[in-house]
Structure 1
């Protein structure tokens, strides 16, 4: 049961559309309607600027790292940790909070990989 809750939490965490939120707050822009239409840091850079893109990159990496970090902290099995990582990236690709249209998952995957590396 705990593992299922962790998978759902990882997906929900991955679903937070940092690029969409930051671009809307800082630039008044709906990223889905400008540039590439992608909600990732590169489109934020084009549409809003470097500061907003940096925040987006950190947010997207952070949500992947946070999901894996939680799994490591709770000492889940390696298989469950891999599923948590996939759930976080899937949340970014198909975000519940963004109409299931997300980014490419590069920054979130980077966060997952960095957090999954042995200390």
Structure 2
């Protein structure tokens, strides 16, 4: 995986793919949509996160769904555009990395972004729809059993690299998703602490 990304980043197309992914990933849909609709800024409630789960805590289900769709699509579009215009699979992988980094460290918000789950899923859709469906299925099952969004994301993301490796036989994608999973877990470090302490907010819980 490191060799693949190193090769892809060595030329202008790799740099463009990374930048394209980053700029698309850095669009903060949770902020943009709440401002356009006059909704509550999600940074002031719950976990303070800009993602769909925290937008849902404002009580606006439609806005939360729109935020989820936007955060997913920017990852998918980044992967597909880079793959089509900048050099195939290698460029797509680099753009996927850029999109995820853009979401969690957006320049527009002083590098304080979301935790990456929706963009992670969007990247998966662009790379392999079947693996994306597996992620969604694992997330939904864990969410149904636990009612914890964060735990669902942690469990599902942990299995994605293994699915790419063992089921899809795609080692470069497995390596990339292992890296993104580590970043996703890092972004959820406070959630992990709250889960262990029994203080994590459940899905649909306001405030």
Q: Deviations over 1:14-66 (max 9, x none)?
A: 00000111122224422212221000001111115111011101100000000
1:117 aligns with 2:128: yes
Q: Which residue of 2 aligns with 1:92?
A: 103
Q: Which residue of 2 aligns with 1:10?
A: 21
Segments of structure 2 that go 5 or more residues without pairing to the other structure are: 1-11, 131-207
Question: How far apart are the structure 1 equivalents of 2:75 and 2:121?
Answer: 8
Larger-gyration structure (1/2) = 2
Q: Which residue of 2 aligns with 1:39?
A: 50
CA RMSD of aligned residues (A): 1.8
TM-score, normalised via structure 1 length: 0.90
* Count of equivalent residues: 119
Question: How far apart are the structure 2 equivalents of 1:98 and 1:53?
Answer: 19
Segments of structure 1 that go 5 or more residues without pairing to the other structure are: none
Q: Which residue of 1 aligns with 2:64?
A: 53
1:104 aligns with 2:147: no
Divergent runs of 4+, >6 A = none
Higher relative contact order (CA 8 A, sep 6+): 1
Question: How far apart are the structure 2 equivalents of 1:64 and 1:23?
Answer: 20
